[in-house]
Amino acid sequence: MPDMPNALIRSACEGDISAMLAIYAPYVEHTAVSFEYAVPSKEEFLERLRRVQSFYPWLVAEHKGRVLGYAYASRFHPRAAYDWCAEVSIYLDRDERGRGLGRKLYERLGHGLRAQGVLTAYSCIAHTQEPDEYLDHASIRFHERMGYRLTGTFPSCGYKFGRWYGMIWMEKRLAPEGVPPVPVVPFNREA
């Protein structure tokens, strides 16, 4: 599949909700990538977007007016000592994977997080020992290529499609180890 060099990476807006839900729904309904059992309503998804964008970036990849994927960051943990960490997530249209969109989204997301003062990004990824029709290792391989490393494993913690799946945590340092923290600031959607 050819690369997608002309994809526009921009902040998500409320008008993107239907397109993002259309991308997310197959992950909920047909895979164990998401542990949700039901696709959220437009109202619930809009509330998620607003909650994330009150402080963190939520980005979309768009080409010729069509949203092809999205990535966002959220609070890693509510305690103040974790302010320099963020959890990241990414979802691409299933037909658009392998074209460089995920890399572009994550690179821009990482740039935005660094500008906020975030020092470490974490991703919680569904895991299975043996790939099956609901889950493979593509997300793990993608995160490894993006510089993430395994930091934790939770075997058999999620039940979906009549079977148990695990979760792994992967992390990527966005700044060198030991960098003194500066106050983390809200994401500037205009930058």
Contacts of 148 (CB under 8 A, 6+ apart): 121, 123, 170, 171, 172
Whole-model pTM over 0.85: yes
Are the C-beta atoms of 44 and 84 separated by less than 8 Å? no
Q: What is the largest CA-CA distance in the chain?
A: 46
Does domain 8-173 fall under CATH 3.30.470.20? My reply is no
Are the C-beta atoms of 122 and 87 separated by less than 8 Å? yes
DSSP 100: S
Q: What is the pLDDT of residue 180?
A: 86
Single-letter code of the amino acid located at 147: G
Residue 7 three-state SS: coil
Which regions of the chain are under pLDDT 70? 1-5, 191
**Closest to 171 in 3D by CA, of 109, 125, 107, 108:** 125
pLDDT digits (tens, 9 = 90+) for 112-149: 999 999 999 999 999 999 999 999 999 999 999 999 99
**Closest to 125 in 3D by CA, of 139, 144, 104:** 139
Structure tokens at 32: 């164990």
Partner residues linked to 8 by β-bridges: 62
**What is the C-alpha to C-alpha distance for residues 153 and 169, in angstroms, rounded to an integer?**
6
